[in-house]
Chains A and B, each alone.
Chain A
Amino acid sequence: MVNGILDYLWLVPALPLLGVVLNGAVALFAERPLLLKEAGLPLPGGHGAHGHDSSHGTGHGDSHGEHHEAPAYRKLVAFIAPAVVGAAFVVALLCVLSLASRPADGRTFVQVLFPWIQAGSLLVPAALQLDPLSSVMALVVTGVGFLIHVYSVGYMSHERAFARYFVYLNLFMFAMLTLVLANNYLLMFVGWEGVGLCSYLLIGFWYEKRSASDAGKKAFIANRIGDFGVLLAMFLVFWTFGSLTYTEVFARVPLLRESGVLTTGLATAITLLLFLGATGKSAQIPLYVWLPDAMEGPTPVSALIHAATMVTAGVYMVARSSALFLLAPDTMMVVAVIGAVTAIFSATIGICQTDIKRVLAYSTVSQLGYMFLACGVGAFTAAIFHLMTHAFFKALLFLGSGSVIHALSGEQDMRKMGGLKKYVPVTFATMFAATLAIAGIPGFSGFFSKDEILWQSFSSPHGSPVLWGIGALAAGITAFYMFRLVYLTFFGESRMDPEVEKHAHESPWTMTVPLTILAVLSVAGGWVGIPAVLGGSNLFEHWLAPVFHPVAAAGAHGAAAAGAAEGAVHHSATLEIGLMALSVAIALCGIGLAYFLYRVRTGKPAEIAKKWPTLYDVVYHKYYIDEFYEWAVIRRIVNISTGLWQMFDALFIDGIVNGAAGLVRAAGDRVRRLQGGVVGGYAFSLLAGAVLLVGYILYRSVVQ
């Protein structure tokens, strides 16, 4: 075969789909009857066979019951679910290696599977595209996804609806891989809404809990608001470019630009609408509110979907559309400002949260803000770089917090933790590495990616010192709340419930091995992108150059030229090093402050809260944004709808109709008194005659 392994690219999404079918069958035929029996519910006899999805079994929360021998079907699921994802990773890796062996300007491989929707000039294939950008995404998704699947086997081992969980998780992988591998906007949208659906199902996995199903619904609807933007953007793209396929759209940009069809205004509209979608999926202001609530889902889900992969889809989509965004300076500014403001805004909320997962959730919102800041200043490579390193360290932080929660029998409140490092040494060590990475300590992965973003937000033609300042300040706050988390959880005196403390234990290997691997990646994952100023060769930028700087990359020394294009304004290396040192210093200040408040003067935080009660209250309650939305939007819509129904439908329209009917009935009564006999017959002939007459008159009167 000409393309070798690349011809098997379709296996990457197909393998998780196979997992869905197999695990779905297990969930339906093995797990469902068992759960019904356990719950003492009636078992219906004799079903027809079907297995597209899992059934809804019971959920028993994060709590852990007694151990008993796992039934065979659970072992089967525990094997299939990670295996299909692992296999997808291997195929993806081989495909990417094969792609890498091609020359830089030939690294776009398209595999058309079948024609999907055709109507008139609209031709949308189900086709996959592997290029440097989707390679990075596919590897991160399958790689981190595989680790989290393995982790889940351990974490969910006490869960009754074990198979149903893995059906959703496999389905998520399928949707996410469709999203990143699609070669056109519409197929991407399938994955885009597909991951939203899986997110909905997994957030609401323990659907008997009201807060869980509420959170799932909120996530879906917030995402739908964003999807509305993507939908409209696709309409504009199609009627402007005549296609929804990436390569065709981007190739037509210069021509349409020249002919005046693609005005700056149009580009701004398209990109702003796309960005609306991104704010939904990637939890940016104003649609970020669903992500913190999404923590209702099982912790591995938070790690996979709500930290490492799905929520970065918005960043991917913006980066994918960089050719359009670069035409719209106003959009770029909006993206940068929203990113920067979200980064610092949610970081401040993270300071006061007491639920370990909620801190991480706000941290995720904040880090995604960084990625958009990067996109907004045109540093798409930096955005994707941070996307990757963040996937490593944030997945690790969530999995670590899951391990803590697992050890403490479901406790998530950091006020009831403390001194845990001796109970869960592996969890502590790995989480500490991730904390250093997110805090931007030199040498760790997060340092390189975050610093690249800060530098670009300062030096790029789209950047400004203000953006740099916000970003650097947010970095300081990040370092502060992350070390607060570590100190509250692992250091100091134990504040645990004695009963809980007795059972505190390190997690099984299925959980600690993924933690360890992610820790290695959190440390070393950034070394592929060491900037030239620190003596690195920035492999990562070279790899992505053909996507973000197609013209420059076509040259022999593509990447070098690309670097120049990205940071078009030249600044001295001294300045770059100086800013780097300054941002590290700010981070160290944050850490120092956390050390002071949570290790030295542990009574101080409560004093501060008492001193400024209003400020503390507002921040603790997340600036009351949820309450504002509830009051300003949700209540209003419900009231208006009720009004429409009861006033307009029931009173107004039906009033007219029933009134008219009453008149007719009254008239009918008169006629009946006069005639008697076969009224129906008379009435009918009368009507028929009238119709004929009126028809004729109508024709005559109108034409003559």
Chain B
Amino acid sequence: MTGVALLDQHLLSVLIALPLVGAALLLFFPRGGDGAIRTFTVLVTIAEFLLSLAVVARFDVATAGMQLVERAPWIPQYGISWIVGVDGISLWILMLTTFIMPITILSTWSAVVKNVKEFMVFMLILETAMVGVFLATDLFLFYIFWELVLIPMYFLIGVWGGERRIYAAIKFFLYTFVGSVLMLVAIIALYFHHHAVTGVYTMDLMKLYELTIPVKLQGWLFAAFFLAFAFKVPMFPFHTWLPDAHVEAPTAGSVILAAVLLKMGTYGFLRFAMALFPAAAADWTPVIAVLAVIGIIYGALVAMVQKDVKKLVAYSSVSHLGFVMLGLFAFNLQGIEGAILQMVNHGVSTGALFLIVGIIYERRHTRLISEFGGLAKVVPVFALCFMVVTLSSIGVPGTNGFVGEFLILLGAFKVHKWYAVVAATGVIFAAVYMLWMFQRVMYGKVTNEENLRLTDMNGREVAYMLPLLLFILWIGVYPQPFLRRMDASVNAFVTRFEAKKQAALAGSPPGETMLVRYFDVKKGGAR
């Protein structure tokens, strides 16, 4: 097969494989040739990004289902296959992943100086795993990639992290792992169920979508998926691993963690938990909406009183991801499109915020807000970038954050009016904690002599920050190209969700309580 044909027919598989191949090639690089290793890695990630642009180019706006699908039997006797595809739900999250990678690699130039080769190998394995997560449409394959993400991330935190890196790495690993195991249990239960109904063993997501799963089973399976994804998002009250992981992770780790890894949770809800178990998802909505709203407010309030900039940004993520969850569980077009867009926005803006924090950390080796003050005068270009990213994070109109938050709240308002009202106060708190932090770091007089010796952003730093700023403004001013490519898939999702929910509930008498539906608890005792 020629290279062109390979790309033509196996574009998505190539996208998954390319970083892994890059990682393998890196092994042949001599240790100590750090410059070459860095350059090579950044070239691999740029190539990956350019290749992913072909996905956008070949993406058909009108198609609701999976596109560029590839399927190959893998373990046929168990119904496990290599199936990859992309649709309007995964397209932009995939693009976010390939887009943020070269930026992240560029940011490590002077930040990562020990074991550069191993670091880059882990980064590239991580990219393969992340791309795989968003492209896999076989449940087993998805699970493999899902777990594969954990390993490089564990080492990135545990080896290149800060003082309490071991604690943070283990906490990160255990939290996500506990969730994952529960999900695996549910996957296997679903697998047996499909066999029981159809006589066929399969892990093909599209086949599993066709099932009408009994509502009681839906409830339990959803619960397991919920925990796995809620840990990952992270939703309140499963969030405490996140601040620790962020604070201890190296800048590049934080960027990837915030920009992509958290999206695996929200994406998982949409693609798996909600799509497979619509009746249960609908029943669980009050719980999830309440947790999302608590997360929004709680994350914002706790962010406000942080002393460490990175921790502040980490808690702000809890708040932002609460918005995404609220949008998803509105189950309407505005809410879900807003949520997907906000996943991308959060990746861009919070990724940029962690880069910003990394830039001053590299210079001062501290992230304590009280160590700074008056930086605007010393590092004006940095100040400008920081300001734009801050505005994006607090959702000022004209930036990406506004479009996402508006659509989410608009969608949520239609179905859960009071949740949306409370969530909207998060917009006020966001302004409070971000502007207060910005003021303490950037404004005022320079009180610490060391800050007078700070140098402004260099060419490399400007080069990786600029694309992020560009997208902040682009999505804010003209989000149409992004929204249009979601329409067909999200529309189909909403329609199918409603139909499947009705089908699953067909046997349930109206007015049935949750206790009866899921626990068989009937009035007057057990059955």
Contacts and interface: CB of A to CB of B under 8 A. Distances in A.
A698 interface: yes
A193 B396 contact: yes
A190 interface: yes
A224 B403 contact: no
Interface in A52-75: 52-58
A55 B220 contact: no
B483 A117 contact: yes
Nearest to A244: B410
Contacts of A47: 381, 457, 459, 462
A695 B185 contact: yes
A434 interface: no
A464 interface: no
Nearest to B431: A224
A55 B237 contact: no
B17 interface: no
Interface string B454-480: 111111001100100100010001111
B445 A208 contact: yes
Given A115-B480, A221-B435, A654 B377 contact: no
A251 interface: no
A596 interface: no
Nearest to A661: B174
B188 A696 contact: yes
A218 to B, nearest CB: 10
A217 B237 CA distance: 31
A126 B261 CA distance: 34
A221 B189 contact: no
Interface in A172-224: 186, 189-190, 192-194, 197, 200, 204, 207-208, 210, 213-214, 217, 220-221, 224
Given A44-B458, A213-B439, A232-B424, A638 B334 contact: no
A42 B398 contact: no
Interface residues of B, number: 94
A534 interface: no
B271 interface: no
Interface in B375-407: 376-378, 380-381, 383-384, 387-388, 391, 396-398, 402-403, 406-407
A207 B442 contact: yes
Interface string B466-510: 100100010001111001100100010000000000000000000
Interface in A1-49: 28, 32, 35-36, 39, 41-48
- By DSSP majority rule, is chain B's interface helix, strand, loop, or mixed? helix
B305 interface: yes
A396 to B, nearest CB: 32
B436 interface: yes
A645 B409 CA distance: 26
A94 to B, nearest CB: 27
A197 B187 contact: no
Contact of B302 (A39, A115, A193, A645): A645
A44 B456 CA distance: 6
A220 B431 contact: yes
B181 interface: yes
A236 B417 CA distance: 10
Given A36-B380, A208-B445, A228-B428, A44 B302 contact: no
Nearest to B336: A119
B186 interface: yes
A39 B374 CA distance: 13
B174 A50 contact: no
Given A702-B216, A703-B217, A122 B301 contact: no
B414 A239 contact: yes
B388 A52 contact: yes
Contact of B473 (A52, A118, A637): A52
Contact of B410 (A122, A189, A642, A694): A122
B193 interface: yes
B436 to A, nearest CB: 7
Given A44-B458, A221-B432, 14 more contacts: A48-B459, A55-B383, A57-B377, A57-B380, A122-B407, A208-B377, A217-B439, A224-B428, A228-B424, A228-B428, A235-B414, A695-B187, A700-B192, A703-B217
20 contacts: A42-B456, A46-B458, A50-B462, A55-B380, A114-B478, A117-B480, A118-B483, A120-B333, A208-B444, A217-B436, A220-B431, A224-B427, A224-B428, A227-B427, A228-B424, A238-B410, A638-B305, A653-B237, A695-B184, A695-B187
Question: What are the 3 closest A-B residue pairs judged by CB atoms, nearest first?
Answer: A695-B188, A120-B333, A55-B380
